[in-house]
Amino acid sequence: MGAERPWEKSYPPGVRWDAPIATATLPTMFDEFTTRWADKPALEYRDRTISYRELRAGVEALACGLMEVGVGPGTVVALYLPNTPYHPIAFFAILKAGGRVVHLSPLDAERELAYKLTDAGARILVTTNIGFMARLAQKLKADGLVDQLIVGDDGAFGPSAMPVAPMPEGAGLIPFDRLSADGANKLPRLWPEVDVEDVALLQYTGGTTGKPKGAMLSHANLSAACSIYKAWFDPQRMTKPGTDKIICVLPLFHIFALTNVLLRGLQEGNELLLRARFDVATTLADIEVKRATVFPGVPTMWIALANTPDIDKRDFTSLRFVGSGGAALPVEVAERFHKLTGQRLGGGWGMTETAPAGTAMPRGWTGKAGSVGLPLPGIVMDVVALDDPRRVLPPGTRGEIRIKGPNVTKGYWNAPAETAAAFVDGYFITGDIGFMDEDGYYYLVDRKKDMIISGGFNVYSRTVEDAIYEHPAVAEAVVIGVPDAYRGEAAKAFVQLKTGALPFSLDELRAFLADKLGRHEMPAHLEFRDALPKTAVGKLSKRELVDEEQRKARAAAE
């Protein structure tokens, strides 16, 4: 404990910054937890339960099938899947065969899918016949981007509320079940050797600022992140391992759910209620009927729940922990949810590049409203000047956050220049603007790329958004910078109203914000939308709105 780690004095009892951080290969972790929890339920999907023993058998069978079609050490296999049992089975099977995974999002456009496949060097693609996914995967194969296509039949899990296409046929197309059945008869005596420093996952990120970059996450990075979370949560544990039911509606192709729900949840012997998409009715049924105990979500989910009629009359007594991640949670939303349900939303901060361990709030209420918490064990963070990433700033001063630890990526795939630019003196430069208070708690202000410079002043879009969320008619809000002839840039607010709420004028909004924002922070423009764009993980997305405004500006100039 000292000046270099001021957050230690705020740690909950029993949590140590210097706790040992263990690393292992993910296949070793998988073997350990499926042996320990063999007879317990691991996954529940459409009321069908898969035990840890069954999960182990399914993974080993598919791994053998994959080895038969050429997957081995270093082979890159792409997963193009929503939340379905095919994801965890394929994820662990690829790693057990010695390969590495690249995640594709079901919401990716065809051009993005093509870019990631080509950049990662993935010639094998695993998908399902839910919706359009198998059809688009077939087109990628027809275009020469994929050699082998493995398709899981969603009908194997019973009737679905989602549209399901017929199973495709043709050369190079292999049914998932057939590949597993073939592999089940060919279990090897020895599995391929994997080193902890081998790349386990190429997780693409940063598409909002140009081409996506593949963060290289090793077995050591991912297992270290699990160990870091364990060192933090074990001393604060409220339940015994193996006793939780976790709602898994966050997409497993996103790093937040992959580490915090799939890896950590299974390592602890819990049951994952696997859900392909979020809707309020299903989530409430999981809580009230299936008695889920843990629900990790993203801000848009909490906003939807908080705005649900009669939410204060629903039964949340089964929940032992609720958390928000993936994006900054507006303080007003957290307070609204607490008042309605009595539940405090735990939170934290992390990135794809940190797998995603970074900070977390203690489980006990600290009174630090708006904070993303304390740096986790084994992690070092500080705040540096925006114009000099080597100049460390004192507590309370806003700057760019840096981080280092055993969970942090070593760089980006096929991108040496981007990798070099992302690191200074061993620290990863996050692009997040924030500050640390005297007690070691971190606060996020904005993404560096989202900061608006208006009339020479720095305007942080999140500050403006948080103030707008206090308006009783606002359901969701996004603020971006738009060209302004006088100020250079000005803030524009996009607002989705609550059901039944009446729109208001820009002047009315500015009057409401008068005691909450400085004059230079006031929105200069206001636009109402029936819905605001979101990313694959459910975060509000600025990319589409920025692109729209740029097109408008170009058209006006022409």
> Per residue in 226-236, pLDDT tens?
999 999 999 99
Q: In what order do the strands lie in the sheet with 173-175?
A: 173-175, 148-152, 124-128, 76-80, 100-104, 199-205, 213-218
Q: What is the pLDDT of residues 211-230, one digit of tens each?
A: 889 999 999 999 999 999 99
- pLDDT value of position 172: 87
Please report the pLDDT score of residue 338 as a whole number.
82
Looking at the chain, the domain(s) classified CATH 3.40.50.980 span: 52-194
Mean of pLDDT values over 397-426: 96
Q: Which of 113, 148, 363, 367 is nearest to 238 (CA)?
A: 363
Cα distance between residue 552 and residue 230, in whole Å: 49
% of the chain surpassing 70 pLDDT: 97
Q: Rounded to whole angstroms, how far apart are CA atoms 545 and 407?
A: 33
Return d(Cα 433, Cα 170) in angstroms, integer.
Answer: 51
Q: Give me 30's structure tokens.
A: 């998988």
Residue spans in the chain of domains classed CATH 3.40.50.12780? 6-22+214-447
Query: Model confidence at 380, in pLDDT bands (50, 70, 90)?
Result: very high
Q: Please choose, from the candidates 160, 178, 116, 108, the residue with its C-alpha nearest in 3D space to the C-alpha of residue 136.
A: 108
- State the pTM of this model: 0.85
pLDDT band at residue 346 using 50, 70 and 90 as cut-offs: confident
pLDDT of residue 323: 87
- For residue 378, give both structure tokens: 């084994």
Reported as a single tens digit per residue, the pLDDT across 541-555 is 888 998 898 888 888
Section 401-425 average pLDDT = 96
Per CATH, the number for 52-194 is: 3.40.50.980
Beta bridge partners of 125: 78, 149
Over range 293-313, report the average pLDDT: 87
CB 27 within 8 A of CB 96: yes
Question: Does residue 266 contact residue 33 with C-beta atoms inside 8 Å?
Answer: yes
Q: Which residues contact 6 (CB under 8 A, 6 or more apart)?
A: 395, 436, 438, 439, 440
* Residue located via tokens 């900070």: 359
Checking if the pLDDT of 167 tops 80, the result is yes
Taking only the tens place, the pLDDT of each residue in 91-128 is 999 999 999 999 999 888 888 899 999 999 999 999 99
CA distance 523 to 544: 19
Q: How much is the average pLDDT of 55-62?
A: 97
Is the per-residue pLDDT at 156 higher than 50? yes
Q: How far is CA 420 from CA 242, 412, 425, in A?
A: 42, 9, 11
Is it the case that residue 67 has pLDDT exceeding 80?
Answer: yes
Higher-confidence residue of 369 and 96: namely: 96
Fold of 452-557: GMP Synthetase; Chain A, domain 3 (3.30.300)
The 10s digit of each residue's pLDDT in 317-344 is 999 888 887 766 777 778 887 877 777 8
Q: How far is CA 412 from CA 115, 201, 202, 525, in A?
A: 15, 11, 9, 38
More confident residue, 537 or 513: 513
Q: Which residues touch 490 (CB under 8 Å, ≥6 apart)?
A: 452, 454, 481, 482, 484, 523, 524, 525
Mean pLDDT of 526-552: 87
How far apart are alpha carbons 41 and 22 in whole angstroms? 26
Spatial contact of 312 and 301, defined as CB atoms under 8 Å apart: no
Q: For 535, phi and psi rounded to 5 degrees?
A: -85, 180
What is the C-alpha separation between 92 and 82, in angstroms, rounded? Answer: 16
Rounded average pLDDT over 271-287:
95
For residue 209, what pLDDT is reported?
44
List Cβ neighbours of 247 (8 Å cut-off, separation of 6 or more).
273, 275, 283, 286, 287, 292, 294, 295, 296
Distances (CA, A) of 16 to 233, 235, 343, 437, 509: 11, 9, 27, 20, 46
Q: What is the pLDDT of residue 3?
A: 62
6-22+214-447 adopts what CATH topology? Rossmann fold (3.40.50)
At 461-506, the pLDDT tens digits run 888 998 999 999 999 999 999 988 767 788 999 999 999 999 999 9
What is the reported pLDDT for 486?
A: 66
Q: Has residue 263 got a pLDDT over 90?
A: yes
Give the C-alpha distances (Å, rounded to integers) separating 433 from 37, 395, 443, 456: 42, 13, 9, 17
Concatenate the DSSP letters of all residues of 397-436 into one string. --EEEEEESTTS---BTT-HHHHHHHEETTEEEEEEEEEE
Residue 127: what pLDDT?
98
Q: How confident is the model over 150-161, as a mean pLDDT?
A: 92
Confidence (pLDDT) at 530: 95
pLDDT at residue 447 in the model? 80
User: Cα(435)–Cα(349) distance, rounded to whole angstroms?
Assistant: 13
Bridge partners for 347 per DSSP? 324
Which residue spans of the chain are classified as CATH 3.30.300.30?
A: 452-557
Residue of 523, 428, 390, 416 lying closest to 468 (CA atoms): 523
Sequence-distant (6+) residues with CB within 8 A of 35 are: 56
For position 58, what pLDDT does the model report? 97
Mean pLDDT of 118-141: 96
- Mean pLDDT across the chain: 92
How many Å apart are CA 186 and CA 60, to the nearest integer?
A: 10
The H-or-E segment that residue 214 falls in is strand 213-218
CA distances, 270 to each of 244, 264, 266, 438 (Å) = 5, 9, 6, 37
* Sequence-distant (≥ 6) Cβ neighbours of residue 149 within 8 angstroms: 124, 125, 127, 137, 138, 141, 168, 172, 173, 174
pLDDT for 189-206, tens place per residue?
889 999 999 999 999 986
Between 52 and 366, residue with greater pLDDT: 52
